């Protein structure tokens, strides 16, 4: 089995990491770039497939040279056998469409056509959720490659190597109360839902998982970013400049409106814990929420 997982670097939106200016604009320079959290979930699905069926997990991204560290993060925190970065100034400022075009070409460039391509639900910054499905469309129109079914909102997968199929459970309306099971032929394109959970019900799988996790942590720690990450530029991918980067992006962003912070509806009153009288009123207030 050959699996490719797609990823993107995003601002680290976690409390204490992210930085906004006075107008509420993200300060990119002050905010570290990390691997898109949803993509780690996709990568876990790839790792689960490798644990159960063996094979090879590639992690691929498009972005500036600094994204090598994002790929390294994926290798360290989840798993990767090899890392690919599609990087060129010409590719910059791409919308989801131009990105999908570029990535599809990157996948075509791989030595072996992947059995499963995994993508995360959406990125933490763009939040379109387009790039995965659009990449699959770009692969479909490529006559060199096999057409593959696209399964989105996947919460669990089960590969049957003998039958050459994948059975996936997916959320129908993004809702855990409605789950459908789909069986599709390999190769396939799978977009994992944030609810995806890898399951290992056999001890041998958990042991292999432990081995692979240990190995990938060690490899990531000693990774030489300049040598161990395969970087493909525009020339290497032989891309038509009209279809990539800003020129290849039909999306027009007419403007960005910051969402104003909602003013707090609650009023805070400071009460000293020693003030018995006022503390009494606090307890009276709380009483209604107490059980029994």
Q: How many residues bind another protein (CB under 8 A)?
A: 8
Binders of another protein among residues 166 to 225 (CB under 8 A) are: 201-204, 206-207, 210-211
Shortest reach from residue 207's CB to another protein, in Å? 4
Nearer to another protein, 172 or 207 (CB): 207
Shortest reach from residue 203's CB to another protein, in Å? 5
Nearer to another protein, 17 or 206 (CB): 206
Nearer to another protein, 77 or 158 (CB): 158
Shortest reach from residue 59's CB to another protein, in Å? 26
Nearer to another protein, 178 or 204 (CB): 204
Shortest reach from residue 208's CB to another protein, in Å? 9
Shortest reach from residue 161's CB to another protein, in Å? 11
Nearer to another protein, 203 or 286 (CB): 203
Distances (CA, A) of 214 to 141, 154, 198, 207, 208: 39, 27, 17, 11, 10
Q: Which residues bind another protein (CB under 8 A)?
A: 201-204, 206-207, 210-211
């Amino acid at each position: 089995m050959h699996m490719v997982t797609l990823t993107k670097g995003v601002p680290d939106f976690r409390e204490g990491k992210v930085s906004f200016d006075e107008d509420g604009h993200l300060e990119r320079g002050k905010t570290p770039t990390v691997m898109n959290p949803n993509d780690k979930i996709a990568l876990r699905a790839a790792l689960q497939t490798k644990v159960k069926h063996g094979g090879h997990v590639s992690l691929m991204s498009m972005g500036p040279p600094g994204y090598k560290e994002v790929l390294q993060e994926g290798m360290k925190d989840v798993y990767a056998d090899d890392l690919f970065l599609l990087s060129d100034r010409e590719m910059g400022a791409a919308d989801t469409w131009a990105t999908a075009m570029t990535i599809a070409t990157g996948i075509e460039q791989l030595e072996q056509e992947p059995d499963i391509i995994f993508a995360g639900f959406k990125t933490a910054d763009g939040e379109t959720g387009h790039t995965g499905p659009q990449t699959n469309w770009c692969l479909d129109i490529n006559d060199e490659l096999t057409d593959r079914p696209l399964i989105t909102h996947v919460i669990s997968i089960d590969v049957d190597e003998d039958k050459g199929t994948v059975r996936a459970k997916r959320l129908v309306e993004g809702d855990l109360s409605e789950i459908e099971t789909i069986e599709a032929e390999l190769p396939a394109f799978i977009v994992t839902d944030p609810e995806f959970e890898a399951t290992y019900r056999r001890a041998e799988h958990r042991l292999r998982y432990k081995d692979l996790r240990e190995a990938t942590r060690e490899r990531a720690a000693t990774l030489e970013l300049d040598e161990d990450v395969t970087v493909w530029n525009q020339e290497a991918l032989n891309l038509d400049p009209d279809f990539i980067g800003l020129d290849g992006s039909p999306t027009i962003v007419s403007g960005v409106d910051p969402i104003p912070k909602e003013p707090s509806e609650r009023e805070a009153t400071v009460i000293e814990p020693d003030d018995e009288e006022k503390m009494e009123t606090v307890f009276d207030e709380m009483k209604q929420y107490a059980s029994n």
